Chain A
């Protein structure tokens, strides 16, 4: 089974009379428990790639499958539903809601799903990420590293198939950055998630199973050195 599979996916934009190919035809897949890094200079199409997988935009050609099910061709509303269920996002700075405590960030998932709040699961997850003491704090009271750990907890809480991390360490110093990526790698293995991390910091890829380089819309696998 593939958690993520892209079949001949490409994306092009019209810019006036010119057509810009942001992503050239790509085949790509990630298995459960696999941690993939995508590196490349800014403007290379990394974010486009990630947002197509996340269903925030549709590919011009080809299809995206999540958990072996057609995803990219679903209607916007259906995609939002699937996204909520299958995909956990971790973004650069703050994808936390500023007026919710760490614990409430997780509870929001239950509120949206109209399911019961699983206090045990919240406790377990926060302890695993070592932020149990911060459960009742607001994002503004947390350090950058703590915030990203809270964001990881939030992304894992609804038990998605896929985790998409867009520059999750951008606002952190080196040691914090390593710590966060290490946690991400550990959770990927333990919980059998398919994780894609977009980063520009090549040193962080030591924790990853495979590394891809994005350059001018072309995705290439980086060979083991």
Chain B
């Protein structure tokens, strides 16, 4: 530490440049982590909001919510500590009176039972009723809608009034509108006179379990209960996004390690004759190597902390439309990975230190 820190203090510009590189890389990495996490969240937040353990879908659905359709009566074949029916419909809505197609919003309608556990907590306004919805908060923060505003369903004459807002209700990167099953079905089938005699299919039954789905049984050949995590991984595009970002972040961490490693290596080569003299004086390779490692650690730590700070600061100033979200656990994990990989990069230099022949420094 003694040598490492003194040298940084003495050659401020040189080390400031190296720290600068680390700052940029860690800024980029942690910012990407935030974006990746934010985007992933927007895919699945509404699902996480269910706080459920399993989802019942048809065998043929390929775990796709929209293509799973079955009769409501199937709920009789399911035993579970808690369950709730869900009917969905993907629609486009527009603020009433607006003619501008740029105001179109892709939404997912969740048709739920008022007394079921899927009914979300209201952050503003009231719960839904026939023809009214509880909307995701983003319709307020991003699209400027208020309680009482009316949304027109694209391609239909129907309208929906916003009765209230709820937080974190995004599904497949779009806002969710919660309402009752009848409202969703009338929109879905574009029919106001739903026949009493027809059994309209629902899309799924969400179940809660106390024992890892062990206590959930399905006595029907057409449907199956899937763990929520499997369902999330099969959301269209979700896995591809997560993997793409994950790979990018992973590569960046490795590249950062290489860059830092090369810098430290060049610095060590530059100092070779001085290190040779030190070794001639009997200062062990171990001591010098430790100092190189300590130096790398200091540089990486300072750089990463500044990059971290910049990320948090940027997060505060981003427009709400950017799907950015800090997850401190992920952020800290990537930061730790950056520092660890930087230290691995410094190991090249340790080899150089060990190989320096003090004899050459003297002669």
| B3 neighbours in A (Cβ, 8 Å) | 97, 100, 108, 111
Query: What is the interface size of chain B, counting residues whose CB is below 8 A from a CB of the partner?
Result: 21
- Contact status B282-A87, CB under 8 Å: yes
- Chain B's nearest CB lies how many Å from the CB of A197? 14
B274 at the interface (CB under 8 A from A): yes
- Contact status A84-B281, CB under 8 Å: yes
A104 to B2, CA, bound (A): 9
- Contact status B277-A91, CB under 8 Å: yes
Q: Pick the contact of B274 from A80, A82, A97, A111 — CB < 8 Å?
A: A97
* B contact set with A: CB distance below 8 Å: 2-3, 6-7, 9-11, 274, 277-284, 287, 358-359, 362-363
A107 at the interface (CB under 8 A from B): yes
A 68-100 binary contact with B (CB < 8 Å = 1; else 0): 000000000100111111011101000101111
| B274 neighbours in A (Cβ, 8 Å) | 97-98
Q: Which residue of B lies closest to A79 (CB)?
A: B282
Looking at the complex, which of A50-58, A124-132, A171-179, A201-209 is the stretch in contact with chain B?
Answer: A50-58
A200 to B6, CA, bound (A): 36
- Chain A's nearest CB lies how many Å from the CB of B269? 15
- 10 chain-A/chain-B pairs, Cβ below 8 angstroms: A56-B358, A80-B279, A80-B283, A83-B280, A88-B281, A91-B280, A91-B362, A95-B281, A99-B7, A99-B10
A65 at the interface (CB under 8 A from B): no
How many A-B residue pairs have C-beta atoms within 8 angstroms? Tell me: 67
| A81 neighbours in B (Cβ, 8 Å) | 282, 284
Query: What is the interface size of chain A, counting residues whose CB is below 8 A from a CB of the partner?
Result: 29
- Contact status A108-B2, CB under 8 Å: yes
- Contact status B359-A51, CB under 8 Å: yes
Q: Pick the contact of A77 from B6, B277, B284 — CB < 8 Å?
A: B284
- Contact status B10-A138, CB under 8 Å: yes
A17 to B29, CA, bound (A): 58
8 closest Cβ pairs, A-B complex: A84-B282, A99-B10, A83-B282, A111-B2, A99-B7, A95-B277, A56-B359, A80-B282
| B363 neighbours in A (Cβ, 8 Å) | 47, 51
Supply 16 further A-B pairs (C-beta < 8 A) apart from A47-B362, A51-B362: A51-B363, A56-B359, A80-B279, A80-B283, A81-B284, A83-B280, A84-B283, A87-B282, A89-B280, A95-B280, A98-B10, A99-B6, A100-B6, A104-B6, A112-B283, A112-B287
Q: Which residue of A lies closest to B9 (CB)?
A: A99
A85 to B281, CA, bound (A): 9
Q: Pick the contact of A80 from B2, B284, B359 — CB < 8 Å?
A: B284
A111 to B287, CA, bound (A): 10
A5 at the interface (CB under 8 A from B): no
A166 at the interface (CB under 8 A from B): yes
